[in-house]
Amino acid sequence: MGSSSASCLNPQIDPNLVLKSSLSASAVKAPVRVPSPARMGFDGKSQPKIVEGEGGYVLEDVPHLTDYLPDLPTYPNPLQDNPAYSVVKQYFVNVDDTVAQKIVVHKSSPRGTHFRRSGPRQKVYFESDEVHACIVTCGGLCPGLNTVIREIVCGLHHMYGVNSVLGIQGGYKGFYARNTINLTPKSVNDIHKRGGTYLVYIIGGDGTQKGASVIYEEIERRGLKVAVAGIPKTIDNDIAVIDKSFGFDTAVEEAQRAINAAHVESESVENGIGVVKLMGRYSGFIAMYATLASRDVDCCLIPESPFYLEGHGGLFEYMEKRLKEQGHMVLVVAEGAGQDLIAESLRSMSVEDPSGNKLLLDVGLWLSEKIRVDLANFPIFAVSFCKKAEDANPTYMIRAIPSNASDNVYCTLLAHSAIHGAMAGYTGFTTGPVNGRHAYIPFHRITETQNKVVITDRMWARLLSSTNQPSFLNSHIIEESKEEEESPPTQLLDGENYMENGVVDASLPEL
């Protein structure tokens, strides 16, 4: 979900504060000023704000309205008079607080990269009655979208006294088509109990955050008093820097139902094979964690780990072995796995959807047919398929459900972080947990790369140990992977962060 101050780019629309959830943003009317040359590059794009300190300390800061509007007035934060916050020992986050990207270091290591800690500031740059917030959701469905919408609306109202909040329908196009609805705490009170999105969405995916970055750059170029803040959304959990994306816990939990159904079906027939396809275009996090949590999966295939079907050490040999040992098996496959094998098999061409994403071939259907044909030729046994398990494709079922308790709490923290940051004048950022502490992260760090499962990491080794499946990798591929992933960009990738305990540190006091 997201918000954006695209209204300031269209003279027909006049909101002032914008917040989003696949993106979230805030904005306010102000006179146009010439942007500071120090903040804009020769190509017109904003330059990263890097602050260096002693001991190898590096702060990758986020933009602030005062970077190009230095004379903006400030106001006392309304939270200091909020009864709900009267019990909090420390109302506000210290302006110099930062969050380390890496927490596992050697004594001789530099302090490394840090991000600005999120949370309420003592001074804000918007008065409540001048704020017009906009919320827009972009991309596919994800559990928790409605929770983030609800908490942005209620947080703005209850914490900052903001009463003007618009929901933009139809994604970014809604700003120009004037497809808006008024959002109030009453109108969004129960939407977190529903699946889907309370606002209409468009196809977008990861491009939504890039869109937010472009909007911010144009706002800065025009010198507008508009804050743009993002809340990253992807069910695949492939967003860089942050610990995890919202909806991921719910997706893994719901995937268990499909795996359990496949397991029951496969056990009910002789040599039964259950094939379950899960989300994961380029990153296999859902498939990996659902497999680890289930303990009923015999093999997990993900995009990051190449595999082959025939020959010594191949998938078919392993499947034959498992069926001999236990008479049934469950196979989990991420939707992006094996695309090279399918393309080679079907001699297909590379085709993209309107958003530029490669259209994936149906690995579940293809793999099921290959198993049916190839394994049925072995004289040792006859393969029986569980019809329901074979057709199990819970992707849309998982995307459309309401978020669970863990994700509901997490969505609240994300929404509040975005609100606090925008009201404090920060802009051009997305918010999310880094090592359990919520931080403001520059857009470019979110959009420059995608998280992927590291197949030379301990977490993947735990999965291989759990399923007893072969790695399907030769020594050359393993060495290449070790070189590429020698320094994983986030704690999630080395499996030693929140996933060890199954839940990220909610860090409620900081918000």
Tens-place pLDDT, residues 73-96: 999 999 988 888 878 878 899 989
With cut-offs at 50, 70 and 90, classify the pLDDT of residue 11.
very low
Q: Which pLDDT does position 180 carry in this prediction?
A: 86
- The separation between CA 291 and the C-alpha centre of its own chain, rounded to angstroms, equals 20
Name the 3-class secondary structure at 445: helix
Could you tell me which residues come within 8 angstroms of residue 457 by beta carbon, excluding any fewer than 6 positions away?
485, 488, 493, 494, 495
- Residue 394's pLDDT is 63
How confident is residue 351, by pLDDT bands cut at 50, 70 and 90? Answer: low
| Whether residue 501 has pLDDT greater than 80 | no
Given the residues 67, 236, 249, 298, the one annotated as active site:
236
Three-class SS of residue 469? coil
Instruction: Give residues with Cβ within 8 angstroms of 29, minimum separation 6.
Output: 8, 14, 16, 130, 224, 225
| Model confidence band, residue 474 (pLDDT cutoffs 50, 70, 90) | low
User: pLDDT band at 1, cuts 50/70/90?
Assistant: very low
pLDDT of amino acid 369: 79
Of the candidate ranges 342-346, 433-437, 488-492, the one whose mean pLDDT is the lowest = 488-492
What is the rounded distance in angstroms from the CA atom of residue 12 to the CA atom of residue 86? Answer: 42
More confident residue, 476 or 298: 298
What is the structure's pLDDT at 475?
A: 53
Provide the residue type at 412 as one letter. Answer: T
- What confidence score (pLDDT) does residue 39 get? 56
166, 199, 409, 422 from 2: Cα distances, Å: 12, 10, 18, 13
Least confident interval from 28-32, 98-102, 130-134, 229-233: 28-32
pLDDT of res. 486: 53
Locate tokens 């046994």: which residue?
381
Of 96-100, 278-282, 390-394, 405-409, the poorest mean pLDDT is in 390-394
Check residue 77 and give its pLDDT.
94
Which has more pLDDT, 141 or 382?
A: 141
Closest CA to 434 of 174, 301, 202, 245: 245
Check pLDDT > 60 for residue 500. Answer: no
231 neighbors 150 (Cβ within 8 angstroms): no
Rounded Cα distance, 332 and 280, in Å: 11
Distance between first and last Cα of the chain: 20
Query: Which of the four pLDDT bands, split at 50, 70 and 90, describes residue 151?
Result: very high
Band (pLDDT 50/70/90 cuts) for residue 3 is very low
Q: What is the mean pLDDT of residues 156-164?
A: 92
Statement: residue 488 has pLDDT above 60: no
| Predicted pLDDT of residue 195 | 61
C-alpha span between 375 and 317 (Å, rounded): 9
| Confidence band for 188, pLDDT divided at 50, 70 and 90 | confident
Residue 202 has pLDDT above 60, yes or no: no
pTM for this model (two decimals): 0.80
What is the DSSP-derived secondary structure letter of residue 287? H
Supply the mean pLDDT for the chain: 78
- ∠ CA(272), CA(277), CA(279), 5° rounding? 160
Q: Higher-confidence residue: 210 or 328?
A: 328
pLDDT score for 40: 57
Task: Assign 417 a pLDDT band (cuts: 50, 70, 90).
Answer: very high
Which is higher by pLDDT, 401 or 381?
Answer: 401
Is 391 designated active site? no
Query: What is the rounded average pLDDT of the residues 137-144?
Result: 83
> DSSP label at 403?
P
pLDDT category at 508 given cuts 50, 70, 90 is: very low
Phi first, then psi: what are they for 477, rounded to 5°?
-65, -40
% of the chain beyond a pLDDT of 90: 35
201 near 140, Cβ under 8 Å? yes
User: What's the average model confidence in pLDDT over 163-185?
Assistant: 86
What pLDDT does residue 288 have? 96
122-136, 138-152, 252-266, 467-481: segment of lowest average pLDDT: 467-481
